[in-house]
Structure 1
């Protein structure tokens, strides 16, 4: 019986505790390893993105004037402030994030250009700024995790490309419900790498500044392979972006175009001279406030050098290297411009005597009444009605404003020696798969929009 009272051996219990402690130690080491791996991955991602904009090819090279390292840029993005919400509450806008703001003196802002872009399409901007010669506003759409990267890109472009400094103001637009992660996105969806523009540098003279050329070359490689409006960040709010860019500069007149288009050389100074002529002539009456000046839009094969003046354009048009904008996708959308009449207007004398600093002599060639489904590009006073921000993605976004201008009593005056050129032919086969569904959805919205116009302009004899 005494033997039964002896204590049981404790060896098994000690072994169990040692095994448990070992398992906990292994688990702790695994968690530490995963934490270190995650931090290292984040640093690699930031380094990978920052290499896109370095002046040299080595990691850690200086980013040029006006640029800093990726981590400091991420901290700077967090100091942007709350921004402001758009009327729908779905988007947040950060105005004037440029490091070299555009002068806002009244005399400097008779005419500005407004455009919009995603992060992956900003490589078009320096070429556009060089061709335009005047103040320019761009609204940049930043998706999930792209706010810091977009701010870094903007500052780096300003630092590398002198043509942007003091001439371009930037507005950042981002979905309001998406937190900023401060990490550059992986290659994926982009706003629009337009059809026929696989290499947007083709046809353009190289940027005269080597640092700008290197930054743009790296950025273009990052942008290759993206499809129209194929965004992972949700719908692309093109009309909201157009309005944001228009409102960024208090100019009296504005030309709103897409970032992958170029105006004819000297359009900015040429139109200013036209305004002076109209002011001195009998044509500047009360109706001048209700006139928009149509700039004919065309598209060109991406293998050709982009024409600067109409005489060059006419030659390319004759050999079918240039055609009306949307010639394949929607011929009726541009037909009222009457390209056959416009292209045969004389241009050789004005183009031969003009320079890029003065621009060709411009005049109103003829006027057209708006007819459905015309969606022209035009220079207008900034007092015209804004774009309807309910239209997003593809379809009916620009035509909605042209339709409203018609109902509101505006006249469409076609300019003779001014034009816009799109880089590459627009081809139906190169659009994203959701294009038709987006177009159908916006067509339904457009019907509602036209009914709304009847209530907004009850005394107008016009309709669309």
Structure 2
């Protein structure tokens, strides 16, 4: 508000021209003031709306931290320079001689030093299609990382070399912390150790987009072979784990992103922990739904109404505690496994996708789903208790677990003397629980 004061005597002696000039000035000043106030009001409303959405809106997945600092220059592939320092004709075989494996094909510049400094090594495995996730893994985990990679034949091995070269060039965390190991199927061993020849450069700011750019070079013959041959997950898990040089191992899949600072927090916890043997520390995990165009299927209105009618104790999505957006009575973990079993590769059309889904559903047992529903209330209570524990900043034990649950596949930290994963199980779907049981 603007207040104007003028003396009465002076106001009476003003000429019409003076009044006109003063009036115009006041009018101009008033217009500018109104515009300024309007802009400020709009900015204030936007800020209040942002705060309201942040505090009062439905809780969603935790935001994904930004990618680590990258080398600003674009990456130009070295077409004729081998990326891995190894002899492709040497290596060791698994017990059934279906996979040939090579240890430490290329070692991170700080891998040895970090293995001496930290007592936990993160072991992970990946095919070429998911390798972009390693960027965030290396950015979040400051300790040593042992990564086992799978490639079939010269074509895929050449693409894999090109992408590993890109990761090491663009991301210092990958170059410093990760030691790579390789596994090849017996019938598609590579005959040469060099990246595939191609033109163009890759953008260091977009690891996933750069990977998709490389994957376009795959031939239809390679894609057909990949569809017919399952991915040897347990072989790669064992390969990554046994190449860790620390006393304890944190074995994960490549798309499991550890929390920032987790390696350092674990170091403090382990040094103060009194358990010296037969202890495994399960790490709570969240599943982030990356879809932005619609709600997850289990939060759809029709699904919520059906569950409300058939399950008297059902808690709707809007009434669940903060952070439990993916928790539901049908156990979203089972749906995640169904996705892994049926959608681990891109399908050329909808009919083939339906066939894979039908096969995956047939592998589920009714008693498993029934048990998941019956156990939901206990899971929810445990989750709420764990959420309340997060007020403590340091790494600590939330509660003890002594009972075994069917199909339970946790990610955990343990000494490296735990049993290996059963390599008779190949492919996606409940291959980790064979080791836990």
Structure-to-structure mapping, 1:393-408, within 5 angstroms: 393-403=427-437
Q: Give 5+ residue unaligned stretches, structure 2.
A: 1-70, 293-319, 339-367
Aligned-CA RMSD value: 3.9
3-state SS of 2:277 partner: helix
Structure-to-structure mapping, 1:23-422, within 5 angstroms: 56=74, 63=76, 69-73=78-82, 79-101=87-109, 102-103=111-112, 107-145=116-154, 146-180=156-190, 212-222=204-214, 231-232=226-227, 234-279=229-274, 284=275, 288-303=276-291, 315-317=322-324, 324-327=332-335, 329=338, 339-345=379-385, 347=387, 350=390, 354=393, 360-403=394-437
Greater RCO (Cα-Cα under 8 Å, separation 6 or more):
2
For 1:229 and 1:320, how far apart are their aligned partners in 2? Answer: 36
3-state SS of 1:397 partner: coil
For 1:238 and 1:392, how far apart are their aligned partners in 2? Answer: 6
Tell me how far 1:350 sits from its aligned partner: 4.8
Contact 1:97-1:172 within 8 A present in 2 as well = yes
Q: Give 5+ residue unaligned stretches, structure 1.
A: 1-52, 57-61, 187-209, 305-312, 355-359, 404-464
3-state SS of 2:125 partner: strand
Equivalence for 2:67: none
Contact 1:77-1:147 within 8 A present in 2 as well = no
Contact 2:203-2:210 within 8 A present in 1 as well = no
For 1:78 and 1:249, how far apart are their aligned partners in 2? Answer: 19
Equivalence for 1:19: none
Per the alignment, do residues 54 and 162 of structure 1 end up closer, same or farther by CA in structure 2, a change over 3 Å counting?
Answer: closer
For 1:377 and 1:160, how far apart are their aligned partners in 2? Answer: 29
For 2:108 and 2:267, how far apart are their aligned partners in 1? Answer: 24
Tell me how far 1:267 sits from its aligned partner: 2.6
- Flag the structure with higher strand content: 1
For 1:293 and 1:272, how far apart are their aligned partners in 2? Answer: 13
3-state SS of 1:70 partner: coil
Per the alignment, do residues 133 and 185 of structure 1 end up closer, same or farther by CA in structure 2, a change over 3 Å counting?
Answer: same
For 1:342 and 1:133, how far apart are their aligned partners in 2? Answer: 30
TM-score, normalising length: structure 2:
0.58
Per the alignment, do residues 133 and 77 of structure 1 end up closer, same or farther by CA in structure 2, a change over 3 Å counting?
Answer: closer
